[in-house]
Structure 1
Amino acid sequence: MIRVYENEDITKHYVEFRPRFQECVVERVLKFCNEYREFANKHELMVDVACGSGQATSAFQNNFKHIVGIDISPNQIKEARLANEHDNIKYEVGTAENIPLEESSVDLLVSATACHRFDLGKFFTEAKRVMKPDGCMALFSYNAPTIIPKNVKVSARRQELSDRTSSLLLKFHEIVTDKQSNFYLDGKYENIYKAVPAENKQWITEDLVMKYDWNLEQLIGFLRSNASYQEYMKMMKEEHKDASEEEVKKWDRAVLLRDFVKREWEMEEVKDEDVMMEAHFHVFLVLANNLK
């Protein structure tokens, strides 16, 4: 497993700026589960593997009697516990290859924006151990969001700026993201879908979009919440130890993105929190039942 998102700085960015998963994702996951097994009014146990600070964990709060979020990072678990407002959710330190739950106990195992960093063979073996024989698994993620300016009124200009801003964000995201993650994310988890040892499985890549009203401060915070961005900045600063603050800005992707938006959207005199936009995250999922 690739270990990222662990130091205190990145976890604070993560809990503040990572989008929480919306009901449309929960509904799609539970629809699949209900196709293959009969649930009571409230399902018994769900585990969220590599839960971070709980962006996906809490989304299922109303659907399970008990939910456990596990993460390899004590700092992520600390943030998740601080943000937790639900009696039926608890957070524990654990890994995808060593889930701290009993054999055949889990109704639903989920992992959001994380399984592309797992040792998949070991993870699938451990998932089969903890899941009930008819249990379900949902692995899902997204790439960089589509950004749509809200302050631009002319539709053609708004579309042009959306295309250019989204392309730049995707480019920056790809530059700072590790090769293994890019391999899986670029293919929208197709290779993970093929690798899942399950009797019943689905791969969903279309028509599931989470929409958020954001400002420029949130967009920049989202980029900086990427652990690979933090590693990139650390590497660049080590290579250019004597660089001035102005020189750093030339390769700081967050600064470059902010400057682009302010300049091209013609909002250089507007505060970041007043530069409004929609952020659309296109979610792709691998759903599986009855692991072999």
Structure 2
Amino acid sequence: MTYRLFEDKKHASSYWKYRIAPSDHLIQEVLDFLEKQKGRLFELAVDVGCGSGQGTLLLAKHFVSVVGMDVSPAQLDMALQHAKEPNITYRQCVAEELPFADSSVDLITAMSAFHWFDRPHFLQEAHRVLKPHGCLALLNYTIDMELSYADCCSQTLNQVCKEFYAALQPYRSAHLGPSSIELYREAYESIPYPVKEWQECVWVKRPMPLSSYMGLVESFSSYQTLLRDDPQKATRLSQDICQRFLSVMKVTSVETEVLVAVKYFYLLACKPQGA
């Protein structure tokens, strides 16, 4: 069964504000893989576990129709507020019961969501609804992001990052195990399709205010678990980490822009003809 997280309205709002979507380069890697397998006519894409819809929006200009799906009404409400493209629709649905006919979908994506699904059942369902030569794309990024700032020692800055992540590690869901990348690698190995790709390390750099980096980390399930269990401890941790960043950077404003390096990994697989 899909794990139900990120469902209250405040967290959904934070998710939209701070969560990052895959870069244009990563989306293009998915589209190039799909085009190589089935040609250029892209009719239907389904973004499963779409959250507040940042990734769904990236698919809209490439497909006749895009459907974003999530279990959380609050997340879908947030997605609908920002869905201006007429070819996007959203539906509340669990990942393991996709409301599509057999062999009807060109592309299924899950962007930073697959690790929360009942993975074997979702993969079976994805196989059912994909067209022959349709593709599955599972993308995610790791928590160990790195910061850089002009005239500042990156090693010192990233030591603070590491301590932030280490403080959140005890609150990581047992469902994810020690590293979610292992869950994706296991899925890659289990998919019997002859045409598939596994990419373990793609660094994407994004400029953002320090406040947005803090908001991004605070949107993660581990921080949200700490916030639920001990709000004062969570607030103290954020304040302490933020002040240490400002001290290392020798600035006073949390709106100071930093460069955040995010490490992505992804799995691409093509359903063969006759499968």
Scaled by the length of structure 1, the TM-score of the pair is 0.86
**Residue in 1 that maps onto 2:30:** 29
* Contiguous gaps of at least 5 residues in structure 1: 238-247
Partner of 2:263: 282
Bigger mean CA deviation after superposition, 106-115 or 58-67: 58-67
Give 2:124's aligned residue.
Answer: 125
Distance 1:251 1:175 in 2: 16
For the pair 1:254 / 2:238, whether they are aligned, the reply is yes
How does 1:48-59 map onto structure 2 within 5 Å?
48-59=47-58
Query: Any unmatched runs of 5+ in structure 2?
Result: none
CA distance in 1, matches of 2:196, 2:138: 11
Taking the TM superposition and a 5 Å limit, the aligned residue runs for 1:1-292 are 1-40=2-41, 43-144=42-143, 146-150=145-149, 152-153=150-151, 157-187=152-182, 189-206=184-201, 208-237=202-231, 248-249=232-233, 252-267=236-251, 270-273=252-255, 275-290=256-271
Post-superposition offset of 1:74: 0.6
**Residue 167 (structure 1) shift:** 1.9
- The CA distance in 1 between the partners of 2:183 and 2:241, in whole Å, is 24
Amino acid at match of 2:32: K
**Alpha-carbon distance in 1 for matches of 2:15, 2:192:** 31
Offset from partner CA, 1:101-145 (integer Å, 9 cap, x none): 222110000001111111111101111121112210000100125
Q: For 1:288 and 1:188, how far apart are their aligned partners in 2?
A: 15
1:145–1:279 contact (8 Å) kept in structure 2 = no
Q: Report the CA distance between 1:96 and its aligned residue.
A: 0.6
For residue 143 of structure 1, what is the amino acid of its counterpart?
Answer: T
- Could you tell me how far apart the structure 2 residues matched to 1:249 and 1:89 are? 40
Question: Percent identical across equivalent pairs?
Answer: 26
Cα distance, 1:250–1:177 mapped onto 2, change above 3 Å: closer
**CA separation of 1:186/1:38 partners in 2, compared to 1, >3 Å: closer, same or farther?**
closer
Q: Cα distance 1:251–1:81, how it changes in 2: closer, same or farther (>3 A)?
A: closer
- Mark the CA change 1:188 to 1:214 in structure 2 (over 3 Å): closer, same or farther: farther
For 1:272, what is the secondary structure of its paired residue? coil
CA drift at 1:200: 1.8
1:125–1:249 CA distance, 2 compared to 1 (3 A): closer
Please state how far the C-alpha of 1:55 moved relative to its aligned partner. Answer: 1.8
The Cα RMSD (Å) is 2.0
Task: Name the CA distance, whole Å, in 2 between partners of 1:191 and 1:221.
Answer: 30
Match of 1:245 in 2: none
- Contact 1:161-1:265 at 8 Å conserved across structures: no
1:17·1:222 contact (CA, 8 Å) conserved in 2? Answer: yes
Measured in 1, the distance between the counterparts of 2:131 and 2:145 equals: 38
User: What secondary structure sits across from 2:271 in the alignment?
Assistant: strand
Shift of 1:251: 6.9
Change (3 A) 1:163 1:284: same
| Aligned residues between the structures | 272
63-72 or 224-233, larger mean C-alpha shift: 224-233
The CA distance in 2 between the partners of 1:194 and 1:163, in whole Å, is 33
Q: Is the contact made by 1:22 and 1:59 (CA closer than 8 Å) also made in structure 2? A: no
Amino acid across the alignment from 1:204: Q
